[in-house]
Every structure is written in C-alpha cells, then in structure tokens.
Amino acid sequence: MERLTTTGPLSGFRVLELGNFIAAPTAGRLLADFGAEVIKIERPDTGDELRTWRLFEGTTSLLYRTINRNKRSVALDLRTEEGRAAVLDLVRESDVVIENFRPGTLEKWGLGPEVLDGVNPEIVLVRISAYGQTGPMSPLAGFAAVAEAHSGFRDLVGEPDQAPSRAGVSIGDSVAGLYAAFGAVMLLLDRKRRQRPAAPDARVVDVALNEAMLSMMESLLPDYDAYGVLRKRTGGRMEGIAPSNAYTCGDGKSIVVAGNGDGIYRRFMEVIGRPDLADDPGLSNNALRWARRDELDEAIGAWAATKTAEEALAALAEASVPSGPINTAADIIADKQYLARGIVQRFDVDNGEQILPDVAFPGVVPLLGSESIPVRSLGPDLGADTRDVSRCIARRAG
C-alpha cells in the first residue's frame, strides 16, 4: 500500500490510531500535523464517540474535527476476524500503532504486542491508559478527570475555601497525548540510530494519564517529603509567588499580572503609584511579599479598578511588567499576535447537516519557521478512506 504523500519532518511515516476520545487522538494529531500519515481506525456506524461530544448542531462535533485533523478514517470492527485481519495488514506497512483502551483489551482482540511484533518486528506500540500497563491499578478504567485527581493536580485547582475544581479542558488527556507523541518520535529516532530492530519491550511506549499529570506537579513531592509541606489551593495565585494574580479593571475586564521578580516588583509598584511598597524592606524578596500577599493584592486591585484593561496593560507594558488580558474565544480570534503567526486558521466545515463557512480553528504548534504549518484537513468523515485503503490491501494481497 503506497504511503500518502505529505510534507513535514515526519513525512514517510505511517501511524495507525486505534484509540478514541482525546488522549490517543491528540497523539495522532501531533504526528499528523508534522507530516505523518495517520490512519484512524473507527468502529463502523458510530465511530469515535468524540464525534458527538460537545455537539451543538448536526452530527459531527467541531471538537472531533479539531482533534482529528490531518488524518484518514477507516471503519473497522476490531472485534471481528475481518477487522483484525485488516488491521494486521496495515500494521505490516506501518511504523507506529497508538491505542488507549483499557489494558488487556488489545490482547483480548488478538492484537497484543506479541501479535503486532509477529507481523512487523519494527513496529512501535504506544499505549495510553489511566494507570499504565502494570501495577495493581492497571486493570481499572479511568478518564482524565480521575487521573488528574489521582496525580494531585485536582487538589491544587480552585479556591482554598471551596471543593477542588477542574480545568476547563481535558488537560490530563492532552498532556498524556503529548507524552505519547514524544515517546513515538523517540523510538523512531532510536530505530534509525540502531539500524536494526530493538527488543519488543523496548518498542512499547507506556503512558499513564495519572503519571503524565504527576510529572507536571513541579516540586509537589520533594517539598512534602523533605519539609512536610502540603501545597494548598490558592485560587488565582501561585503558591509562594507574589504579587501574581488576576485583577479586575474598571471596565469589568480582568488582566493577569506576574510582578513577582524583585526588580519587576519595584517597577510594578511605581506603576500603581505605591513607591512606599516598592521601597519597603519588608517586601524586598518573594518570601516576604508572599507573607503580605493580601495587602499587595488589595493595593493592586484598587489601582486596576481606576483603569480600563487596555489602559492598565499599556502602563504595565511600558514598565516591562509581565501582564496580559484574560482572553475569551472572541478575543483570540481577533488577536493580532495569534493572527501574525498563523495560529488562527479558517476553514469551511461540515457539521453533518450543513457547511459552516470560514470557521476559526487552532493552528499547528510548535512553529517550524515564522508561521504555523497550514492544517491540511479537518477531522475526516467516518470511514472516508475505508474503500481506498481496502482496495490497496486487496491489490497487494492479490
């Protein structure tokens, strides 16, 4: 089967994506963005459940179209002999397989690592699950929300006097997808360096959602183990750093200001007309400022209330105090910085009932050069490439 002609640093590599929802498709999207041919295997009739998540109109969500951009879709039932045989035919001519089923599911379907290795001894298998492929919790089901809580992340999100909150996106899935894509690229590089297949175990990337989030927790563990310090929720602040918070301006818009460096802090206080706080020896370093964070936030909030967000940000930028607006989607679509770098890209998109013209989508990150790589295509219709791929498999078999 001929590989799809693409451009980018990963062109020439073929990836089979067997997962659904967000984690595995995020990994597949990242590889596809940079040129890999990603064939997404979806169950017939219903496809990836993400097709109907956050569905406002039609039959296919823009969430699906976003996360599954630049891919091909093949409809196969992995629980049948025909589906299994078709997947193994594709594995023979692929470089990476990504899956995010509960551990043991691929093995139950006759598609475990040993079987994949038997048809392609160079295949890289990327496995994403709630708790990993080993350990006492590995058999348990779990979405990102559960893994975020298990990692300690959820305990730090929200206001200190309220129950823990969650981020407004599936951050655990997205972080796991980043690690999965990174792991796949690492092993592809290793394969090229070795010039021969690695041992089967050395070609498996095992990403656990809870571990991916734990890796983002900075010094949470050593701070506790060394000093008995348990981090607490601090709302818009960051533990031990001041002043750094969100402030509401006189026009009702909010801004974020990170004025916590010693030199930055002094400039910040001059901007808000409080030289007394700038010169106070009891506020000369971050630890001292953290102890008086409420006093500082009150002073900054009083100043912000006298300015529009635009006025406040202009004054802070003039003094080189790190700050920025708290953007909504409406702000981002019109943002000159994002537009200048091609991070907002527009497409006509089919929601299953109608074509929505000129819709904004996020671009490809990171940039390779001065502008984001153009997105080649949005997430495909269910089974859009089934016939083409099946013909190729049949032609080769014949």
Task: Using alpha carbons only, give the angle 184, 185, 191 rounded to the nearest 5 degrees.
Answer: 90
173 catalytic, yes or no? yes
Measured between alpha carbons, how far is 188 from 34 in angstroms, rounded to an integer? 14
Q: Identify the residue with better confidence: 198 or 395.
A: 198
Q: Report how far apart the first and last C-alpha atoms of the chain are (Å, whole number).
A: 12
Determine which one of 33, 48, 173, 297 is catalytic.
Answer: 173
Dist. CA 179–CA 173, nearest whole Å: 10
CATH superfamily of 244-329: formyl-coa transferase, domain 3 (3.30.1540.10)
Alpha-carbon radius of gyration of the chain: 25
Q: Residue range 6-33: average pLDDT?
A: 96
Q: What's the angle, vertex CA 43, arms to CA 205 and CA 347, rounded to 5?
A: 85
Q: What is the distance between the alpha carbons of residues 39 and 203, in angstroms, rounded to a whole number?
A: 20
Instruction: Determine the average pLDDT of the residues in 99-107.
Output: 96
On the question of pLDDT at 398 being above 60, the answer is no
Q: Where are the alpha helices (DSSP H) in 20-135?
A: 23-33, 62-67, 81-92, 105-108, 113-119
The percent of residues above 90 in pLDDT, for the chain, comes to: 91
Mean pLDDT of 42-51: 96
Q: Is 77 exposed, middle or buried (0-12, 13-18, 19+ CB in 10 A)?
A: middle
Return the CATH architecture of domain 14-216+359-397.
Answer: 3-Layer(aba) Sandwich (3.40)
pTM score of the predicted model: 0.94
Packing angle between helix 171-194 and helix 23-33, nearest 10 degrees? 50
Do 321 and 350 form a contact (C-beta atoms < 8 A)?
Answer: no
What are the counts of helices (DSSP H) followed by strands (DSSP E) for the chain? 17, 11
Joined together, the tokens standing for residue 378 give 């949005």
pLDDT at 6: 83
Domain regions of the chain by residue span: 14-216+359-397, 244-329
Band of residue 396 on the pLDDT scale cut at 50, 70, 90? low
The total of other beta-carbon atoms located within 10 Å of residue 212's CB is 26
**Each residue of 240-287: pLDDT tens digit?**
999 999 999 999 999 999 999 999 999 999 999 999 999 999 999 999
Residues forming beta bridges with residue 37, ordered by sequence position: 14
**How far apart (Å, rounded) are the C-alpha atoms in residues 130 and 210?**
6
DSSP codes joined into one string, 241-306:
B-SEEEEE-TTS-EEEEE--SHHHHHHHHHHTT-HHHHH-GGGSSHHHHHHTHHHHHHHHHHHHTT
